[in-house]
Amino acid sequence: VSGCESVSRLMVTAVIQTILPPTTSQANQTFCEIENPTIANLTASGTSILWYDSETSASPLASTDTLVDGEDYWATQTNALGCESSTRLVVTVTILNEVPPTTTETTQTFCEIEKATVANLSANGNSILWYDTETSTTPLNDTDALINGEDYWASQTGSNSCESVSRLKINVTIFSPLPPTTSASTQSFC
C-alpha cells in the first residue's frame, strides 16, 4: 500500500577491507649497472604486488621498465577480492656503476718466442677480466694464446662485486722476426 512502511527490515552489514602494503627488509635496494635491473628485480613480500613511480600514481609500472639510480618506487599488494592496499611501501634504488680498468699502453707488444697469453696483458685495476669482444659475456682464460692484430677488452670488478659495463680496449702486436740469413751455409775456420 502506498505510503506504508514494512514491519520487517533487511539488515545489511558493510565490511571495509583494509589491505596493508607489502613489506621488505630492504628499503634501499642496490643493483649493478651491468645487470640492467628492471622493476622485476625489486623485492617485497606480499601478494599480487604492483609497483608505481610515485605514492599517488594510478598507473602501475611494467615489470620490464628499467630501474633508475636514486629513484623511489612505491608498491601495493592486492588481496583475493581484488582490493589494493591504500598505503604504499617505498623502496629507494641505487645503481652501482663500476669504472673500467686503465692503462698507458693501449697497444701491447710481444715477441712470438714469448708465447704470450691473456695472463701477459697489462691493465690497472681490480679483478680484471679479459674478453675477445666488447660485448662478450664469457671471459677468456689466462692461458689462451694472444693473437697478432687482435683486440682484447678488459673489465674491472670493484669491491662492491659489480663488473664495469664499459671496457678497456687493448690491441696486441706480436713480432715474428725472420731468422738470420747467410750466403755461406758452410763456414770453415782455422
CA distance to 20, 119, 146, 163, per residue, from 141 (Å): 51, 8, 11, 17
Predicted TM-score of the model (pTM): 0.75
Phi, psi at 75, each rounded to 5°? -120, 145
DSSP 143-168: TSBP-TT-EEEEEEB-TTSPBPSS-E
Closest Cα to residue 106, out of 158, 153, 157? 153
Query: What string of pLDDT tens digits covers the 190 residues of the chain?
Result: 566 776 776 766 655 667 889 999 999 999 999 999 999 999 999 999 999 999 999 999 999 999 999 999 999 999 888 889 989 999 999 999 999 999 999 999 999 999 999 999 999 999 999 999 999 999 999 999 999 999 999 999 988 899 999 999 999 999 988 788 877 778 778 8
